[in-house]
Amino acid sequence: MTDFIDFHVHPPVAELVDGPIAPYLEGLRGRSGVESDILTVDEIADRYRERSGRAVILGWDAETVTRQRPFSSEDVAAMVAAHPDVFIGFGSIDPARGARAVAGVHAAARLGLPGLAFHPIGQGFDPSSRQAFSVFEAAEEHGLICLLHTGYSRLGAGMSGGTGLRLTYGNPIAVDAIAAAFPDLKIVIAHLGRLWRDEAVAVAAHKPNVWLNLVGATSEGCVAELDVLAGLDFDRCLFGSDWCFASLDDALDGWSGEGIDPALRRRVLLENAERLLKSSAIARR
């Protein structure tokens, strides 16, 4: 029996830790909650099985910025194939690659992945640009879910010039333009737009194809604050831990308090994610 779906997982496998994350490890290791010890795919699967959970594994292709081998859609698909009862895979596309990026969307769909993960700050692109729109158009064509990291990023924090990364690319207001242009595209705003929380909530309230990934948010905080902001719909809120950059158990504990309605907790931790994933074209095949 599955108790939760973690909709935001960066697995500490070598392909990620020694790949796109490698240039930022020095800065990340000095910040609490970051786990950079490399684990095997089996060990990661066991961690979620022990907690009766499933994990949405997010790919990360930032080769244009980092010159590092990406944690690719193919890598993600291999993890899913090894433990399909635990892992759900979101591939990754580097929009800076132009036509090759669009081809990458088609490839991710062929791999059977239900979604794609984007990190506009880490990948160095404007989500509302024409270049990015060609990628989102292809994703909509295939019925893929698109998750975008938003808000503040610890990548490059405290390092010279932030290693050139621009926080402005993390403003979730860009999702408004994407959602308007592609109304059939399911979009997930990750991290609740931290720095721009109100903007993220407003976009989700205005655009019914936008969902909120409550990474770092506790049940008490959500119930006390978010349900009065712009008519937030808790039926489009998704649990996420941001592991391995944050603690999975701390994230779960944040939703274990007695002050939240059990039905609401189950919706956020499990049922909303199940419904969203079933809406993908891949799931309907």
What is the residue extent of each domain of the chain? 4-279
pTM: 0.94
* C-alpha of 92 from chain center: 10
Task: For residues 228 and 240, give the distance between their C-alpha atoms in angstroms, rounded to a whole number.
Answer: 21
Dihedral sign from CA coordinates of 239, 182, 173, 132: positive
* Structure confidence at residue 203 (pLDDT): 94
* Structure confidence at residue 281 (pLDDT): 65
Output Rg (C-alpha) for the chain, integer angstroms.
Answer: 17
Task: For residues 285 and 267, give the distance between their C-alpha atoms in angstroms, rounded to a whole number.
Answer: 25
CATH topology for 4-279 is: TIM Barrel (3.20.20)
* Structure confidence at residue 280 (pLDDT): 85
Cα separation of the two ends of the chain: 24
| Digitized pLDDT (tens) for each residue of the chain, 285 residues in all | 899 999 999 999 999 999 998 888 877 766 655 666 899 999 999 999 999 999 999 999 999 999 999 999 999 999 999 999 999 999 999 999 999 999 999 999 999 999 999 999 999 999 999 999 999 999 999 999 999 999 888 776 767 777 778 889 999 999 999 999 999 999 999 998 888 988 999 999 999 999 999 987 777 666 666 555 555 678 999 999 999 988 999 999 988 877 788 998 999 999 999 999 999 866 555
Task: For residues 48 and 8, give the distance between their C-alpha atoms in angstroms, rounded to a whole number.
Answer: 13
Which one, of 158, 226, 228, lies nearest residue 193 by Cα? 226
Q: Where are the beta strands (DSSP E) in 159-231?
A: 187-190, 210-215
* Structure confidence at residue 276 (pLDDT): 97
Contacts of 54 (CB under 8 A, 6+ apart): 2, 4, 5, 6, 48, 85, 86, 87, 88
Q: Which two structure tokens, joined as six digits, stand for 139?
A: 């994703």
Q: CA 217, 118, 178 angle in degrees (round to 5)?
A: 90
Is residue 71 within 8 Å of residue 15, measured between CB atoms? yes
* Structure confidence at residue 150 (pLDDT): 95
